[in-house]
Every structure is written in C-alpha cells, then in structure tokens.
Structure 1
Amino acid sequence: MLAHRLPNPPTLIGRLAEFSSLALPSLRQRVACGFPSPAEDFFTEEDRLDLNQKLVTNPAATFLAWADTGGSMVDFGIHDGDLLVIDRSIRPRSGHTVLVLWEGGFMVKKLDVRAGRIRLLASQGVQPIVVGEGVELDVWGVVRWSLTKHA
C-alpha cells in the first residue's frame, strides 16, 4: 500500500510578477444591519476598492483554502464552504485562528496558549485538542479572512 503523501507547506514564493487587480465600487460609509440610514452619496471614482489590496497583506506568503468545518468553527465565524485567506508570514499566537497539520490532516482551529500549554479550540460542544508536551505542532499559517457565500 502506498503511503498518502502530503504536499509541502506553501512557503514564501518571492516577488509575484503579476498580481491581478479588480477595483469594485465601495460605499464610503458602513451599512446599517439594523435600521437603515439614508445614503449620503453614491459611488465616485475614489470609492473603488481592490479586494486583493484589502484581503492580502503579503502576496508572496498568502494562499487560499476552502473550509470544511462540519460546524466545528461556527462559533468563530467560519462556516462550511467559506474561502479562507491564510498568511504564512504572520507569527501565530494565542487567539489566532490557524491552519495546522495535525495527525496527517489539515484543520483550522483557534490557537490557545496558556502557561506553556497549547490547545486547539473549536465551537462550543467540541472538545479542545490538547497538544501534548514534546509534540510539535505544524502551523501552516494564520487565517486572516474567511469569506462566506450568501447567494
């Protein structure tokens, strides 16, 4: 039987020759999610937003992944099918949502580090994973954004 070979982690790939740009119209103000507020202005040329510039801080260290959470990260705002923007240049720390390679598979969890003890947290009702002493945790990157499709 052939062993399942895991891909190498994405690394800093150097300067990108071409980074696509698509500036879309963006309202100048935040939109109310409760009672509506009257719009002050409509779009002008200055109201354009390139999602690459907003979502990607370090293009050479950023990659995308699709979430398959089974509901285990809903309490942290990540749902099945979300598009995750993951940055390898950010040093993971407690409170960050991270992509880890654990026991031969990838998973996204909330990193919790206290008193030298490392736990990987999930939604309420899902037991945290306690990373045993002497066990190396392979963090592939920090989730900077999760994008949820609504329609």
Structure 2
Amino acid sequence: MAQGGKRDGAGRKSAFGGDKTVAMRVPEPLRPLLEGWLAEYRQLRSVRTADTEDIRTLSDTLSQLSLPLFASRVPAGSPVAADDLKEADIDLNAHLVSHPASTFMVTVKGDSMLNAGIHDGDLLIVDRALPARNGKVVVAVINGELTVKRLEKTADRLFLMPENPAYAPIEVPEDAALFIWGVVTNVIHPIS
C-alpha cells in the first residue's frame, strides 16, 4: 500500500474562500485592526450576493480619520461667543482628496512659492486626474528637474511662474521635455 504524496481534499482548509494565504509579520499596534478587517473580509467573502459590492479596501480602513466639525465659524476679526454645538464629523480624506487613485503627496523644498502660501517643508496634495489649466499650481518636471510653480499659458508661450519676486519665471521652450505630474489641490503646513 502506497503512503505519502499528494491526496485530493487533504490538508488544512482555507478560511479565506479558497484564496491562497501567506504568513506575514505586522506591527503589534496594527494587529487588532487587521484581525477585524480580516474577519469582516471572511464574512463578506462567504456571502456570494450583490451585497459583496460593499467590501471596503484595507487602505480605506487604515486611513479613515473623522474629526469633529463645529457649527460656529471662528472669526479672524473680533471675538464672538463660543458655541459648543458640534455640527458633524468630517473625514479628512473625503474632504481633501477627490480622486484617491490619482492623488499623491509631496514635500516642498525651497521658498519660490511663498506668496501662494506654500512654504519650505509643506506637504502638497497633488491630483493627477485634474487638468493642468492656466493659472493652476502644478508639480512639473522640466528637462529632468522637479518643481512646483503656477502654470501660465499665453497665445504662443508657456511659463512656470514662481510666487516669490526673488525668483525668475521659467519659460518653457517648445523643445523642452515638460511633464506635468499633477495639480496642487491643498497645502498642509504647521503653524509656528
């Protein structure tokens, strides 16, 4: 009688609906979050109906952050009575990112965009899905060099404009290798 070898149906059954699994080390603080997500994933995978369209991605689970939004606006002029009424929660991702699959962040180096409110060390949220229109602040690569500038188009010329008088505009000649990475939608910087 033969022993050993592969037998159909033998071995431990997958808890993931037939998907192959791998062992992986994860940071201890993420363990409860990942275990919860995996339990939800297993449950949704076991239900083969139209409801499975509701599966959230792991990146959605990891990046959700809702902060309270208060009904009162904060005056930048004369102070007014404080209002404790919380209006809603706001998810920063939904508020700051319109096209998640096409959006990235980049850190600014330099001060050529100071008058646009962009400082050295700021984080820029950049959307590749938006068209690079005249007057928009863009992240661009010109002749292999990365820059953030305001796009200015005239009838026959193209410029990358700084927002600091200490810097000269960059005229983009017709033979230049110009690639627009995306349009800057938001700037994140600390208040000192």
> What TM-score, normalized by structure 1, do the two folds share?
0.81
Equivalent in the alignment of 2:34: none
**Kept in 1: contact 2:160–2:171 (CA 8 A):** yes
One-letter code aligned to 1:112: E
Q: CA deviation at 1:43?
A: 4.1
Q: Encode CA deviations 1:43-94: one digit per residue, 9 max, x unaligned.
A: 43x421111011000000000111112x110011100111100000001011
Q: Choose which of 73, 77, 82 in structure 2 pairs with 1:34.
A: 77
**Kept in 2: contact 1:87–1:141 (CA 8 A):** yes
The secondary structure found in structure 2 opposite 1:53 is helix
**Kept in 2: contact 1:26–1:43 (CA 8 A):** no
Q: Encode CA deviations 1:4-32: one digit per residue, 9 max, x unaligned.
A: xxxxxxxxxxxx82322111112223211
Q: 2:120 and 2:166 mapped to 1: Cα distance?
A: 17
Matches within 5 A, 1:2-151: 17=57, 18-19=59-60, 20-39=63-82, 41-44=83-86, 46-69=87-110, 71-122=111-162, 123-151=164-192
- Bigger relative contact order, structure 1 or 2 (CA pairs below 8 A, ≥6 apart): 1
One-letter code aligned to 2:84: F
Q: Kindly tell me: are residues 103 and 133 of structure 1, through their superposed partners in 2, closer, same or farther at Cα, counting changes over 3 Å?
A: closer
Q: Percent identical across equivalent pairs?
A: 38
**Kept in 2: contact 1:110–1:120 (CA 8 A):** yes
Q: CA deviation at 1:105?
A: 2.2
Number of residues of Structure 1 aligned to a counterpart in Structure 2? 133
- The structure with the larger Rg is 2
One-letter code aligned to 2:143: E
Q: 2:71 and 2:109 mapped to 1: Cα distance?
A: 34
One-letter code aligned to 2:141: L
**Kept in 1: contact 2:143–2:177 (CA 8 A):** no
Gaps of 5+ in 1: 1-15
Q: CA deviation at 1:101?
A: 0.9
The secondary structure found in structure 2 opposite 1:106 is strand
Q: 1:80 and 1:56 mapped to 2: Cα distance?
A: 22
Equivalent in the alignment of 1:6: none
Q: 2:66 and 2:85 mapped to 1: Cα distance?
A: 12
The structure whose residues are more often strand, as a share, is: 1
Q: 1:43 and 1:67 mapped to 2: Cα distance?
A: 37
Q: 2:127 and 2:102 mapped to 1: Cα distance?
A: 6
Gaps of 5+ in 2: 1-55
